[in-house]
Structure 1
């Protein structure tokens, strides 16, 4: 039955040049606050062909804390590259990393090469340029390459099918925390959240460049793990709340669990929607994003977290507590929508000569409100109040922000607004408001451009040199 399904999926795709197989290199990435190391775990041929854009094998976006490079082992020619970030990279900045070592599973996926290759992991150096961190030689014909395919645990279904995966961004929506009698709910959630994504610019204008697939495995119990409240579930993807001690941060640290599920659908990017009403989510560039599908703020969570995962967008907010620690230095972020430059050189081409740099905004009243608001938020969680009260707090917060920003002389200007990247000072965001700053419904101009650049990477030919 599995073979018949995979064959039918392939037959449904437009006839084109036969794509290569998909090769996945599973690794361990570990260390502590000041050291890191890598180790090869296994090499796997996935059951479906490579879904990526054959016209854009090389990533020129300069996004991510890391970059995968695949080079011909004999000639050294670069065959494939992609920027990405990691859970380990985030954990390395937590207090826990100062006192212990941990390792995390990661996967490096690329089109099956014809000959042995050198797989390199690059990382950002002190000057923000990529430098080699680790490499391994992979022979695609090697005896240790796993080629056997087990039966798929469930069938994916198409939420949006616009054609050949090779010329589309293939978004896979995985589900977690859905019981056997909640599969219809998962399907409805997947359709609802995808519809919302394509109501937000620039996704709205670029909907034809996407396919959306959805896949889940039913669970014995409804919901996902939230250890801080004593709730534990054996989920389909390993997702849980309380990542790095943050009650709202929800990720999977079980890379193999979600990869082994995702491999049965075409995908370039993955969002895990989980069956919970409690506000929460997360997003790692080039890995996956997550959103609580039952939250009153599910639409916002789905798009905001996808912005992290898909386009490498930075968080522009700075008043909410996060698990990461920050030193006193202010290096220039690699993310396209945050800068340490008060003159906004990163997006100067979008700045009007009439806009002052740095750009004034009602920062003091915003911060005074947020100090009180964040204290109320912490108290609601400490008292384990109903989720409806937390949702109302967020509605009140957004209403305050909307009123505060209404009519501001630079409300629609691109400039350098101080306060971004979890820091009140020293970092600047492009516009007064954005989906990456508050729970509003739109991206700023810089974020929108950054999203389109990645859509192009997966759906368009490479730009011609002048």
Structure 2
């Protein structure tokens, strides 16, 4: 074994933290239903091979983010021992047209430190008031015979991309590769290092880089790249990641949660980003589940950071002119995401501490001029994909669009103002973002101030200062 791999292995052991760290318990569920109803079913309970990587000082999630929250409860006292907010692929799918016509099931997992006694696991979901309501519960005994404890050999060795201390005090980000052949594993490592380095050049990740550990792990594939069904391209890959999710040509996810968790369990992880070995623009992100990015695309830096913003901090998309698979409702309730608002009550704007008293709400910006350009741009984008033109032509179009948007915003008097700019959350009207420009709005290099704050709050939830 090379010194490089010995070093990675020793860091992996160090990352497990103090000797008292409990094992990691995983509850695998099936979440099924349609647009009108949903059900949960327990599939299995697994003790993962590595200790729990989380921060023992912050077992409870007070961020109020996610479509769902799960709680681990002492059934005798009803005391919540652990909680986390999250969102699901099912939660997105049920807003599509397909969910109006049929029912489907999706795999999900809940991970938490293994308790030393039986517990009750509860799943809560946001109701029509946007409050969490109980939708499912099950009593889990970690000592039960049915709990899976097999410790199979790791299919690959994790690579330490960045190691800043024991996992208990750090955010553990795991970068998984899909669509990399055996001969491309060094390329995967280079891609992982390159994209991680870029993310830590972007605020607030730059200022908080020491609060992260980053690992990389990939199992080789027979063929290079992942499936893209819209072009008749199908490749077998360990994670089953593919394009065209929910009929959106650029949406990249895996629907094989078991494959994802069975690989990810061999490295410390609290957050996961999957790099697909493809040049075609695409990615995706689900809060508390995982994110994806096409590593070979010219816009990979943007994709990696933007999609991680969804997965890590529950940031909503602030753009609204690109086609999406979700069906928009007529109502405009206040979103739970931290970076968009329905502005139902300007006096209670969720980021009002950043808004100057003289800033009008809504805040003026050249919306009509932007939308006029976007109509032509989006039509050209659709035409390029329909004709299956080379990716270089799509990249050139993206560069043109960014140049126009940057120039338009640069000459506006409100370009640096924090307010409420109409157009966000996939909707041209009724939803607002805090600034004209942000990575969640366009292919910008920077997050807006509100998104930076939201990211910082999640870093605080999963890390702790060295002095602790």
Q: Does the pair score TM above 0.5? A: yes
- CA deviation digits over 1:356-385, x for unaligned, max 9? 111000000000000000000000000010
Deviates more, 1:6-15 or 1:278-287: 6-15
CA contact (8 A) 1:175 1:236 kept: no
Partner of 2:380: 376
Q: Which structure 1 residue ranges, 4+ long, deviate > 4 Å from structure 2?
A: 4-11
Structure 1 residues 15 and 271 mapped into 2: Cα distance closer, same or farther (>3 Å)? closer
The Cα of 1:11 is off from its aligned counterpart by 4.2
Question: Aligned ranges for residues 16-95 of structure 1 at < 5 Å?
Answer: 16-95=18-97
Rounded Cα–Cα distance in structure 2 between residues aligned with 1:127 and 1:234: 43
The Cα of 1:408 is off from its aligned counterpart by 0.9
1:303 to 302, 305, 308: 305
Partner of 2:116: 114
Partner of 1:179: 181
Partner of 2:419: 415
Tell me the secondary structure at the aligned position of residue 351 of structure 2.
Answer: helix
The Cα of 1:16 is off from its aligned counterpart by 2.9
Partner of 2:456: 452
Structure 1 residues 15 and 180 mapped into 2: Cα distance closer, same or farther (>3 Å)? closer
- CA deviation digits over 1:255-275, x for unaligned, max 9? 001110000000010000110
Q: Does 1:147 align with 2:159?
A: no
Rounded Cα–Cα distance in structure 2 between residues aligned with 1:235 and 1:13: 28
Structure 1 residues 24 and 408 mapped into 2: Cα distance closer, same or farther (>3 Å)? same
1:394 to 377, 398, 420: 398
The Cα of 1:96 is off from its aligned counterpart by 0.3
The Cα of 1:74 is off from its aligned counterpart by 1.6
Deviates more, 1:247-256 or 1:227-236: 227-236
- CA deviation digits over 1:159-212, x for unaligned, max 9? 000010000000000000001110110000000000000000000000000000
Structure 1 residues 294 and 7 mapped into 2: Cα distance closer, same or farther (>3 Å)? closer
Partner of 1:222: 224
Partner of 1:464: none
Deviates more, 1:307-316 or 1:13-22: 13-22
Rounded Cα–Cα distance in structure 2 between residues aligned with 1:324 and 1:13: 39
Rounded Cα–Cα distance in structure 1 between residues aligned with 2:10 and 2:75: 36
Partner of 2:209: 207
CA contact (8 A) 2:334 2:341 kept: yes
Question: Aligned ranges for residues 129-168 of structure 1 at < 5 Å?
Answer: 129-168=131-170
Tell me the secondary structure at the aligned position of residue 239 of structure 1.
Answer: coil
Structure 1: any 5+ residue segments left out of the alignment? Answer: 462-466
- CA deviation digits over 1:12-43, x for unaligned, max 9? 34863510000000000000010000000000
Q: Does 1:435 align with 2:439?
A: yes
Rounded Cα–Cα distance in structure 1 between residues aligned with 2:331 and 2:419: 22
Backbone CA RMSD of aligned residues: 1.5
Tell me the secondary structure at the aligned position of residue 42 of structure 1.
Answer: strand
CA contact (8 A) 2:123 2:135 kept: yes
CA contact (8 A) 1:201 1:443 kept: yes
CA contact (8 A) 2:16 2:51 kept: no
Tell me the secondary structure at the aligned position of residue 341 of structure 2.
Answer: coil
The Cα of 1:129 is off from its aligned counterpart by 1.0
The Cα of 1:73 is off from its aligned counterpart by 1.9
The TM-score normalised by the length of structure 2 is 0.96
CA contact (8 A) 2:14 2:166 kept: no
CA contact (8 A) 1:14 1:163 kept: no
- CA deviation digits over 1:266-298, x for unaligned, max 9? 001000011000000000000000000000000
Structure 1 residues 73 and 396 mapped into 2: Cα distance closer, same or farther (>3 Å)? same
Rounded Cα–Cα distance in structure 2 between residues aligned with 1:449 and 1:396: 30
Rounded Cα–Cα distance in structure 1 between residues aligned with 2:210 and 2:34: 43
